[in-house]
């Protein structure tokens, strides 16, 4: 596997591959790779001739400096996992390579980036949009792969790609879970053994919401779910919302939308966990 630290090397390598008629699949990551990431590479390998990755902990999408500082970084292990996954090339830049000048780009996604994550993490999705667009311009992939776990992020990236008419297909891949239901996340390694036992309660409650869909009003179900999670002394729900799966607007009634998703962010100790589940 080729590992490049500069944009120029990366573009040169991929230009040569593209000149031979190869299709390019791309998985952008922030490292600390786990089975959830590796499932994206499996999908990319099936669809493309050359599979590429990036590892870059993007500082401008963190609105909490402590979260950025504590974000797990395991570069040697990541490179080994990428090689085993059949990745042909990894782009691993430093911050100066990606942002030689101060970032001034501003995106407006309307309602999409104002609710849920956008409400509690102001500026987060602008940082995501800036880095993803820049990576797309560097890699110029035919397809890019994202997990459904970061559901709102996926909708933001789909919208940006469509509105800017970027020539890349966005492929959404299922959330990978541990045997007990906990959504795989790089942040899970920060959970204490005691917290790790409690964490699957989030997915259990989301699954119960799906079972109870249409049996109660949306508000009643949201309130019930928040109460169930906050019953755990260690859990603190930041938000839990049932929204339209495309617009992320909260419907007033179950019949107001063709597809809905429940999204949540929950604090467990010092770790913030997010998860979601398509209801229908």
Residues belonging to the active site = 37
Neighbours of 244 (CB within 10 A): 15
| Sheet strands (E) in the chain | 2-4, 24-29, 50-55, 89-91, 143-147, 169-173, 235-244, 260-268, 271-278
* 3-class SS shares of the chain: helix, strand, coil, % to 5: 45, 20, 35
Asked if residue 54 lies in contact with residue 82, where contact means CB atoms within 8 angstroms, the answer is: no
All residues at 6 or more sequence positions from 272 whose CB lies less than 8 Å from its CB, including other chains: 67, 187, 238, 265, 266
């Amino acid at each position: 596997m080729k590992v490049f630290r500069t944009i120029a090397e990366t573009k040169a390598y991929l230009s040569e591959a593209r000149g031979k008629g190869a299709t390019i699949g791309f998985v952008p990551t922030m490292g600390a790779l786990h089975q959830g990431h590796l499932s994206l590479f499996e999908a990319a390998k099936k669809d493309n001739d050359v599979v590429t990755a990036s590892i870059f902990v993007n500082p401008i999408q963190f609105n909490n400096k402590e979260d950025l500082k504590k974000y797990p970084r395991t570069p040697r292990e990541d490179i080994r996992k990428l090689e085993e996954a059949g990745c042909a090339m990894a782009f691993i830049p430093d911050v100066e390579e990606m942002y030689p000048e101060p970032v001034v780009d501003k995106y407006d996604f309307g309602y999409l980036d104002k609710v849920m994550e956008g409400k509690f993490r102001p500026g987060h999705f602008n940082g995501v949009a800036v880095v993803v667009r820049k990576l797309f311009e560097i890699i110029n992939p035919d397809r890019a792969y994202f997990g459904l776990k970061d559901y709102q992020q996926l909708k933001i990236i789909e919208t940006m790609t469509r509105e800017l008419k970027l020539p890349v297909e966005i492929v959404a891949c299922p959330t990978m879970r541990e045997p007990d239901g906990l959504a795989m996340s790089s942040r899970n390694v920060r959970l204490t053994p005691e917290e790790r036992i409690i964490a699957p309660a989030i997915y259990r409650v989301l699954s119960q919401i799906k079972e109870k869909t249409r049996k109660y009003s949306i508000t009643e179900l949201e309130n019930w779910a928040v109460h169930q999670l906050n019953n755990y002394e260690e859990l603190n729900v930041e938000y839990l919302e049932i929204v339209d799966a495309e617009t992320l607007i909260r419907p007033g009634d179950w019949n107001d939308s063709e597809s809905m998703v429940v999204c949540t962010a929950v604090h467990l100790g010092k770790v913030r966990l997010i998860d979601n589940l398509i209801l229908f």
